[in-house]
Amino acid sequence: MQFQNFDIDGFLRDYWQKKPLLIRNPWVEWVNPIEGDELAWLACEEEVEARLITRKRDRWAVEHGPLAEARLQRTGKNPWTLLVQAVDQHVPEVAALIAPFRFIPDWRIDDVMVSFAVDGGGVGPHFDQYDVFLLQGAGRRRWRLGGACDASTPLASNEDVRLLTHFEATQDWVLEPGDILYVPPRVAHDGIAIGDGCMTYSIGFRAPSRGDLIEGWSASLVEQASADDRYVDPDLQRQDNAGEISRAALDRLHAMVTEALQDREGFARWFGAYNSAPKYPDMDWTPEEPVDLEDVRDALDAGAILCRNPASRFSFYRQDEKSVALFVDGECFDCSGEIAALAERLCAQAQCCAHPDDLASHAAMTLIVALINQGSLALEEEA
C-alpha cells in the first residue's frame, strides 16, 4: 500500500494537530485488507481486545470481548458496531496500512483499530486525546465533526461509553472506500455507517500525558535511589525559631529532587524502554525453542530475511556519533559502531537482510539472536 499525490510536508505544516482534513482516496490502488468474518473471528479470541456496541434509540450498551461466536450471530435488528483493537498485530495486511503513515515517527504510532458496522451503527459523538486517521475500508460512513473539547466538556454519565452530552456538527462528509479523514486531538466527531458492511480502520497515535511521564520517570528514579542518598546539612546554624523550615533547607531538599529529575540521559533511556513496552505484555511471542547463534548465521547466510514482529515496538536514541541505544519491547540494547548501523536498519524497515559485516560480527549476531529469542524478530526464507 502506498500513497500517490499526497503532500506530506503540506499536511504536516497546515493540518497536523491544527485542523481536520478529508483526503479522497490517495492510494495507488485501494484493497480492503480484511473481511468482516475474519474480524469477527478475532473478536472471539481470548487475547484480543474487542467491544460490541449496540444502540437502541438513545441508549448505548457495550459488551467486552472475548465475544462468543453465538453472540455475534444474533446481534438483533438494532444498529451495532464491532470494534477490535490492535488488528495490525494479528493480520499482516492490516499492519501494512501503517507504512504510508510513517512520516509520523514510529514512537508515536499506537495501533490499528478496526470497526465493522451495520446500517446506522457507530459509537456516538465523542472526542479522543490523540491524533487519528480514519480510513474507510469498505462500505460508506458519514462523519460529522464539531468543535474542540477539553476536560470541562460535559459527558454522558454512562460509564461504558463516554459520549458528549451536546454535539453540534460544523463539517459533514461521507467517506467511500479508500478515503481518509484526519482528526486532530480533542476534536468532536461522530461516525455513522451508511448501509451494512461498513469497515473503518482507525490508525491512532500515542500522546503521553504530562502526568504519566512524571509518574513513570519518578517511579524509575525511586527504584534506582540508594537508601544512603539522604539529606545532609553540615553547615547547619542555630535558628531563632526551631519551627521554621529555612530557605536554605528547602533549597537543598528541592535540589535533591530536581537534580535527579533533570538527568536527561537517564530520562532518554527510561522513556525509550517505557515507550517501546508491548501494548499487551501478557502476549507471549517467544519461539517454542530458543535459537542458536550459528543456526541463525547459517540461515541469514543462505538468504533468510529478518522480519519484525508486527506487535513489537522498535526505536532508538542516538547517544553520540558512534553509538545508539536500541529499544525493543521494553528492553534496551547499547549498540556502537557497526552494531549501531544494524540497530538503525532494524528500526527503519519491517524487513531487512543481514549484511556480510553483520554475519562476521559476534556482537551483531548476539543482538539478532537476542531479539529473535524475545519474539521481536523472526527469520523468513527469501521470497
State the average pLDDT for the chain.
Answer: 93
Q: Is residue 200 within 8 Å of 158, Cβ to Cβ?
A: no
Rounded Cα distance between 23 and 198, Å, is 18
The phi, psi pair for 363, rounded to 5°, reads: -65, -40
Whether the per-residue pLDDT at 265 is higher than 60: the answer is yes
- pTM for the model stands at 0.91
Cβ-based neighbours of 346, under 8 Å, separated by 6 or more: 306, 308, 314, 326, 352, 371, 377
SS3 per-residue string spanning 8-42:
HHHHHHHCCCCCCEEECCCECCCCCCCCHHHHHHH
DSSP 249-278: HHHHHHHHHHHHHT-HHHHHHHHHHHHHS-
Beta strands in 118-237 (DSSP E): 132-148, 171-175, 180-183, 187-205
Q: Is residue 192 within 8 Å of 120, Cβ to Cβ?
A: yes
Going by their DSSP bridges, the two strands 109-117 and 187-205 should be labelled as antiparallel
Predicted local confidence at residue 158, as pLDDT: 64
208-245 tens-digit pLDDT: 999 999 999 999 999 999 999 999 999 999 999 999 99
In the numeric block, which cell numbers belong to residue 56?
437502541
Q: Residue 182's closest CA among 204, 149, 163?
A: 204
Omega into 287 within 30° of 0, i.e. cis? no
Q: Can you list the domains of the chain with their CATH numbers?
A: 8-205 (2.60.120.650), 209-228+247-262 (no CATH), 293-380 (3.40.366.30)
280-293 tens-digit pLDDT: 998 999 999 999 99
Predicted local confidence at residue 382, as pLDDT: 65
291-331 tens-digit pLDDT: 999 999 999 999 999 999 999 999 999 999 899 999 999 99
